Structure 1
Amino acid sequence: MFSLIDVDGVRSAFPGGHFPGDHPTAPSLSSVVAETPAADGVDRISALPDELLRDIVSRLPVREGARTAVLASRWRGFWRSAPLVLRDDDLLLAADGGCASPDAAIGRILADHPGPFRSVHLSHCSLTSGERELGDWGHLLAAKGTQDLVFLDNPPLPRRFGDAFRGASLRQLPADILRCASLRRLFLGTCRFPDIAGAPRGADVFPHLKEFSMLSAQMSEQDLEHMLACSPELETLALIINAMPKRIHLRSQSLKCMLLWTGVADELAVVDAPHLERLILWQTAGDYRPMKLKIDGAPELRVLGRLHPRLHQLQIGNTIINAETKASPSCIVPSVKILALELCFGLSKDVNMAPSFLRCFPSVEILHIVSSRDGEATGRHNAKFWQEVDPIKCVKSNVNKIFIHEFQGEQSEFGFVKFIAKRARKLQFLVIVLTKETFASACQVHKVNCQLRALTTCSWAAKECQVLVVGPKLDCTWSFAKASDLLVKDPFW
């Protein structure tokens, strides 16, 4: 029933950052040739069908792809006729020459290659000639069938801290990008989205766009709402470290995944999103007032978190959830199966709200609790509070896995563990993930083990439950890829 497992370095819940369309750089043509063993001197590659050769050329770094034209007369037209993958990383200063800034080379390639562009990844541009050059690029990207676009501008440093997030020094993306009907994935960074609020409602801005992400960028709430309405195939929306619109209202008939990471908005409302499956929030609460989170039209919402009962004001339908809220059909979201909460167990404000939040999601099967530390924490273990909590349906009847992250070994945390032990009838796994500080001390680990073993001698509601104590995750960086991948059942683990 009880075991200690060190998984530090074995698995990572959040592998490194990810840009849409960001794939490992393909090997250079010279390295491939160098590694190819000598044979009988026969050029068998050139004998391959044209279609296959174009595919090979399109997967090479752009510099290497262009060089294939000198291999033989057979290869001369393939670079211009192959769908192009353009990454400015491949155009940076190299040992064999080139230019320190890739801007000039990018301009030539965009102008000379007829397209289509399978993927364009621009993250090292200086754009010394400013808006005119950027406007030319926008026109060419739209005209030549770009499918995936990653654009991170490098604007001048802001005069004052925070100016970049208010848009004072951010360049505006050229409006021509809005005419790029071929786009499937779009990732924008450190720029301002063009004004589209005045565009006709009937016209699709991005008719085939599947993923849209913004990093440290600016977009008005009217433009965001208009884009959602005019992108009929959009499935994933991610707003990352942004100057958030004050109100984010999700109205989309296609959206499946929404990520809001390290940004503060006054209100996030799921108004009409019939196919939304996951809503992931991380560090989204303000310092002075809670962010309003309204959930209304989301009948397929299955994954939700991380909610903070003190810093998020949860509203379901017309009901604002508070510590006295009782479960009723009007204030529950029965579709949610995976829920993540962040609690400070030593703070009464958090502990008092936690049961009400849990009652709103009666069908939860996997529950993640992040044990946070707060300067206001009283240090009380709240044992009496958890002993007197009325039954919570999801804990009593549905939860089969509970993960407690950042476990510090405080009495307030053990009070919650004891509550779970006595109430969760279908619990199969209780996973305790220690903090780095706790796991680094053999004495602390032994203390946690002893206290948990003492609990296992009590009468547990779930007789076959396994209690696992694991070490901290080695890599805690957030992963866009994992959070937005709907094939990953549990993005919090």
Structure 2
Amino acid sequence: MEMEAATPIPKKRRSEVPGSNQPEEISSHEPAAAAMEAPESDIRESPTPGAGGAEDGVGHISGLPDAVLGDIISLLPTAEGARTQTLASRWWRRLWRSAPLNLDYYDLPAEGDVLIRLISQILSADAGSGRQLCISAHHLYHHAATVDAWLRSAGLSNLQELEFCCAGYRPVLPAATASTFRLSSSLRLATFSQCRFPDSIIQVLHFPQLKQLTLGEVGISEGSLQSVIVGCPVLESMLLSHCIGFSCIRVCSPNLRTIGVRVGYRSKLVGISIEDAPCLQRLLQLGLTRGLDISIISAPNLETVGRLRYDDTYGFSFKGFPTLFPVVAHTVKTLSIVVVPLSVDMVLDLMCCFPCLEKLYIQICSSGRKNLWRRKHQSHIKCLDIRLKKVVLANYRGTLSDVNFAMLFVLNAKMLELLRFEVQGCCDEELIERQRRLLQLGNRASRGARFVFTKNTCLRKLEDIKHVRYLSVADPFEC
């Protein structure tokens, strides 16, 4: 497949990326290169750092140590960091060029070949050590030699964050070269997208400081994936999204706390084996794949699991339920499931499998059955110690099936603090009042429980999690 080298790179503003706090727009009339090339005569003299002078309009910020000022500049968006050179004097220019480099192509007001030249210009002028380099995977495909030169730049020495972000389309996956991993010894965060990892390179790699890893639409063999995980001894978070080339993920990691897996339509993944993960707290399935065989051998601190899928035909998306978690069942406190149809029998099995569950998120896809439980399960329910504190029912329709299902928690969850109904359709006062009567809220088992009816959907769309950073939010299932 051939594509023109000058094909524009689809860019989104950072404000369009979930969880971003970057400025909504970047002005295009003052590019970073223009600030970098401002003539000396156009920049006013000012006191040297530490002098504390305020006559140049900079104020007491001039009195801060160079190291602090450099860190401030490096935390700014790339174009804004470059513009600090115009604020006061030559020492700002010196600080910009020596500050830890934070180069993110999203922040640069350029496209295509102009963007390529601008990145090259910034890297050639920077004399500091690298903090972050974020470029499109598109560059690996169309400008492999240029990317190779970038990664050899002195300005990227000791780089902490390297991101090859997914392009807006899926090219034929190019093979990552050895230079792609030249900085592996210093990286703390890495994102690799839309490329292939040759076995000859990966199996000798070591990432001694890497804590966060994202592989998106990457082609990698099962043995090489295992080598990557083993080669990251301090890895804490890992996101695998739409990757191909392996059928099983085997995890042996002393520090891994969060795993997020999204299975793509080209993927052959059939199983995840958690063999030894003493610190693992979260296991997140970010899609709704059926029949994924999960084996948990040792994960004594697992607290959060989701999103499981249940339906009448296939049962749970995780094979082996409810004997799936014989070791870690008592540690799981938060669970998210999608049900087709809604089933009281299924939930009672969950309560047996996860006796210490405190938060339960249920996305209802269809009702279908009556969900009568008083005669069928009353004696069984009395033996259960239901510790649920929070239950969320998304796509709640208020049908008889939904009401009977919800009453299981209303009348039996003695520690319940919140039951939230995310109503599908009209959610007016008349509906709320009718539902309160049908649910017999006056007879609730927990006198302090709150019952909230809302039109708004507060469940997080796990399908939208595309960066490893978002796996570490306080509650991955709550917006």
Give the TM-score band, short-chain normalised.
Answer: 0.7 to 0.9
Aligned to 1:118: 131
Question: How far did residue 211 of structure 1 move?
Answer: 0.6
Question: How far did residue 299 of structure 1 move?
Answer: 0.3
Q: Counterparts of 1:299 and 1:218 in 2: how far apart (Å)?
A: 31
2:456 to 472, 477, 492: 472
Aligned to 1:6: none
Q: Counterparts of 1:246 and 1:87 in 2: how far apart (Å)?
A: 34
Secondary structure (helix, strand or coil) at the match of 1:110 reads: helix
Aligned to 2:356: 363
**1:416-471 CA distances to partner (integer Å, 9 max, x unpaired)?**
11222333222232211112x344xx4xx734541332322674333443322122
Report the AA paired with residue 465 of structure 1: A
Q: Counterparts of 2:132 and 2:138 in 1: how far apart (Å)?
A: 16
1:396 to 375, 385, 399: 385
1:484 to 451, 471, 474: 471
Q: Counterparts of 1:100 and 1:309 in 2: how far apart (Å)?
A: 49
Q: Counterparts of 2:221 and 2:382 in 1: how far apart (Å)?
A: 40
Aligned to 1:24: 22
Q: Counterparts of 1:390 and 1:186 in 2: how far apart (Å)?
A: 53
Q: Counterparts of 1:396 and 1:149 in 2: how far apart (Å)?
A: 48
Aligned to 2:336: 340
**1:266-305 CA distances to partner (integer Å, 9 max, x unpaired)?**
112222111001111232414xxx1112222110001111
Aligned to 1:207: 208
Distance 1:408 1:244, change over 3 A: farther
Q: Counterparts of 2:468 and 2:214 in 1: how far apart (Å)?
A: 12
Q: Counterparts of 2:100 and 2:383 in 1: how far apart (Å)?
A: 51
Aligned to 1:321: 321
- Residue pair 1:305, 1:339 contacting (<8 A) in 2 also: yes
Distance 1:125 1:105, change over 3 A: farther
Secondary structure (helix, strand or coil) at the match of 2:192 reads: strand
1:433-448 matches, cutoff 5 A: 433-435=422-424, 437-439=425-427, 442=428, 446-447=430-431
Aligned to 2:6: none
Secondary structure (helix, strand or coil) at the match of 1:399 reads: coil
Report the AA paired with residue 307 of structure 1: L
Q: TM-score, normalised by structure 1?
A: 0.74
Q: Counterparts of 1:120 and 1:127 in 2: how far apart (Å)?
A: 14
RMSD, matched Cα: 3.9
Aligned to 2:273: 269
Question: How far did residue 235 of structure 1 move?
Answer: 0.4
Secondary structure (helix, strand or coil) at the match of 2:385 reads: helix
Secondary structure (helix, strand or coil) at the match of 1:285 reads: coil
Secondary structure (helix, strand or coil) at the match of 1:405 reads: strand
Distance 1:386 1:92, change over 3 A: farther
Could you tell me which runs of 5 or more consecutive residues in structure 1 were left unpaired when the two chains were aligned: 1-14, 34-38, 159-163
Question: How far did residue 394 of structure 1 move?
Answer: 10
Question: How far did residue 364 of structure 1 move?
Answer: 0.6
Distance 1:99 1:242, change over 3 A: closer
Aligned residues: 431
Distance 1:133 1:88, change over 3 A: same
Distance 1:237 1:141, change over 3 A: farther
- Is 1:92 the equivalent of 2:79? no
Distance 1:107 1:54, change over 3 A: same
**Which structure has the higher relative contact order (CA within 8 Å, separation 6+)?**
1
- Residue pair 1:149, 1:183 contacting (<8 A) in 2 also: yes
- Residue pair 2:166, 2:216 contacting (<8 A) in 1 also: no
Report the AA paired with residue 106 of structure 2: D
Q: Identity percentage over the alignment?
A: 25
